[in-house]
Every structure is written in structure tokens, then in C-alpha cells.
Structure 1
Amino acid sequence: MGKLIVLTGPSGVGKGTLMRSLIEKHPELYYSVSATTRAPRFGEVDGKDYHFISRQKFEQLIAQEEFLEWAEFAGNYYGTLRKCVLDKINISKLVLLEIEVEGAKQIRKTFPEVLSIFILPPSVKELERRLRSRAQDSDDAVAQRLICSQREIKAAHEFDLQIVNDKLDVTLKKLESALFRPSNS
């Protein structure tokens, strides 16, 4: 049987970078692409980075209970399509989700056997530096994300593992250790 693994943490903590690195090093892992109503950022590809859909379509899928989890964050919906994840778990895949904290909490209720990993920043100051260096959000959006991140960080203890993303190579080794220990194979 496969396993569901959730990576979560505040915006800007490095979840996407960690996920891409894991998938590149371990092609046997299956990355479940989330759906969102937000506009694509420069370089993002529909179906690879996210499934970019309209707010109306997203709300239709919510009503049809097609999401394993969903949340509204910074004015946009984000969610994980149920069927895709369950199909992969049923064929013994390790399925990785990179999702926001509220969605991760929903999954913990639905799938108590999920391995949930909370990625923490080394400091709030460093998190702000990372958010600003992306140059993808306005000052107001960065401020909103920082306020939200402080609330999210307080929930880190609710997850199975907490890993500080201070140095990418060290953080990756810790994630690999968690994913590939004998109980997860």
C-alpha cells in the first residue's frame, strides 16, 4: 500500500524548492499537483505547477466533494483533487502533497495515517527576506503573508515532524530520512 505525505509550512519557507529537489532525486515519488484559482506566476505551467482553474469551476468541484482538502488563502482557493491521490496510493505510490497549513490540517482529520511534515523558517526575519526576494508579491501581500505565517507557525506542533529549513542540503537529508525509513517503504 502507498502512503500520503504532506509537506506544509508558511508561504516562503521553501516548500516548493524542497519538493522539486525531492522529486528530482527520487523519481519514484509521485507529486500531486494542486488546483488553484490564483493566476500563474512567471514561468509556472498549468498541470505541472498547479491546475489553474476558475473560481466558479473550483466552487463546483467543492460542491461535488472532489477535493481531498481545500482552503482559501490570500484571496484564492487551493485544493487537492481526491481521485488522483487515492488512485496513486492504491498502486503503492508514495504521494507527496505540498499544501498550505489549513489544507494539511484537513488531511490529518481525513487520513490519520498521513505523514505530516511542517517546514519551519530559521526565523521570521529570514522568512520575510525570502518572501521579498521572490519579488512576486506587493508589500501589502508580503505583510499579509507574514501575519498569516506567525499564526501558522504556532500550529507546527500539530504535525508529525517539524524541520527547520535553514540549509537546503541538510533539510533535504532530514526529509529523505523521514520518507524512506523502513516503516514508510
Structure 2
Amino acid sequence: MHHRTGIILLVSGPSGSGKTTLCRRLADEGEAVYSTSCTTRPAREGEVDGHDYHFLSREDFEKRIAADQFIEHAEVHGNLYGTLKSEVIDHVTAGTDVVMDIDVQGADLVRACPEANIRNALVELFVMPPSEEELRARLTGRGTDAADVIELRMTNAIEEMSHWPKYTYRLISRTREEDYSRFKALLEAERLRISRLTPEA
């Protein structure tokens, strides 16, 4: 008998691409564990500690950096963000798949991680909107942001989309159901890789 090691399904894409919806649904259906990131930014209204983020003080975050507890971490707009090894490695070793919703900067750091069990488990997907026009419609349709905020999000999204060639897979978004069907099919195919099997002790 053989034991399958878990997959780290790393998902990136611009705001409005639908990546977070895909990741959350996969976790909600029990197909994977959602890797909850840490941050030093204050919680926004409605956010729950341990679900949306692990909200840490800067002092606690920096202690964890010194103790080598992160797979990746970075400072963005004056706040620290990072992924704890404990959120990922134990699950992967036990054969549980982990989904990570992460930006392109974080993805670069995960790729550079020296630990072989993380590199071997990694499957990278970039989610793209079908067009800039559709992305703008999605961002505008949320009805939560002012025009200048939408323009900033568009500028950031276009820059972020230039990074898709670094990824193993690319999914061009269609409808929510089509996207999820293809997203789940990718995970199911990766589960069949012989390289993920190790003999039972």
C-alpha cells in the first residue's frame, strides 16, 4: 500500500478574478484545507480572527520570523503578511491538500522555499479575467469602491497579470461554475501523480 502526500495548490490572480471564491469553495466542500495567512494589519469590519487572517501584533510576527515559522512573509503597505509552516506542512505530510490564496510576491517566495517537501507538493495556478473590460465590470459591480480605488485596482491588476507565465497552469475565468469545475479537475488530476505516492511504513 502507498500513502499520498498532500498538494499545496497555490492560487494567484488579480482582485476580481474570482480566485478567493474558488479557494474558499474548495475548502468549504472539504476538498482541501484553506491556508489562513497572518497579518499585522487591523481586522476590518466583519473579519474573523483565524478565518480571514490570523491577526498578530508586529512584535509577535517578528518573533515568528526570527523562529523561522513562516514559509513566506513580506511587508505590503506598511503591514506584514505571511504563511505559517504550521498551516501547511503538517497537512501535506498527512496527505491532506492545502489551498493557498496568495499574491504574486508571496508566490515568488514560496517557489524559493528551500524545503523539499514544500517544493514537491507545489501546484501553481494563475486565474485570469477573460478581458480587462470584464475585470473592470466585476470591480465596478461590487459597488463598494470609489472610482479612484477602482482605477488603482485596475492598474495593480494589469501589473499582476504580467506574472502569469511564471505559473504552471493558467485558468481564464468564465462563469463561476465553469471555473470551479476546471479548478477541481486540476486538483483531481494532480492527486493521480505517481510521484506523490510513498510506500506505507
TM-score, normalising length: structure 2: 0.80
What code does the residue aligned with 1:23 have? A
Contact 1:2 1:95 in 2 (8 A): yes
User: Judging changes above 3 Å, is the alpha-carbon distance between structure 1 residues 65 and 148 closer, same or farther for their aligned structure 2 residues?
Assistant: farther
Q: Between the two proteins, what is the percent identity of the paired residues? A: 36
Question: 2:24, 2:34 within 8 Å by CA — same for their partners in 1?
Answer: no
Q: Does the 8 Å CA contact 1:8/1:15 hold for their aligned counterparts?
A: yes
Please say if 1:19 is aligned against 2:19: no
Q: What SS is found at the alignment partner of 1:174?
A: helix
Query: Given the alignment of the two structures, is residue 168 of structure 1 paired with residue 186 of structure 2, yes or no?
Result: no
For 2:128 and 2:166, the matched residues in 1 are separated by 13
What letter is aligned with 1:32? S
Amino acid corresponding to residue 179 of structure 1 in structure 2? L
Aligned counterpart, 1:93? 96
Q: Give ranges in structure 2 of 5+ residues lacking alignment.
A: none
Q: Which runs of 5+ in 1 are unaligned?
A: none
2:119 is aligned to 112
Check 1:77–1:132 CA distance in 2 against 1; reply closer, same or farther (3 A cut): farther
Aligned 8 A contact 1:41 1:136 in 2: no
Pick which of 139-148 and 120-129 moved more.
139-148
- The number of aligned residues is 184
State the TM-score, normalized to the length of structure 1.
0.87
The answer to whether residue 100 in structure 2 is matched with residue 84 in structure 1 is: no
SS at match of 1:45: coil
Deviation at residue 139 of structure 1 after TM alignment: 4.2
Shift of residue 105 of structure 1? 1.6
Letter in 2 for 1:149: A
Question: Which of these residues, 125, 138, 156, is aligned with residue 148 of structure 1?
Answer: 156
Aligned partners of 2:129 and 2:173 also within 8 Å: yes
Aligned partner of residue 65 in structure 1, secondary structure: coil
- The Cα of 1:49 is off from its aligned counterpart by 1.4
Shift of 1:75: 4.3
1-structure distance, mates of 2:77, 2:144: 13
1:81-130 CA deviation, whole Å, 9 max, x = no partner?
Answer: 11221111111111111111110121122243310000111222322333
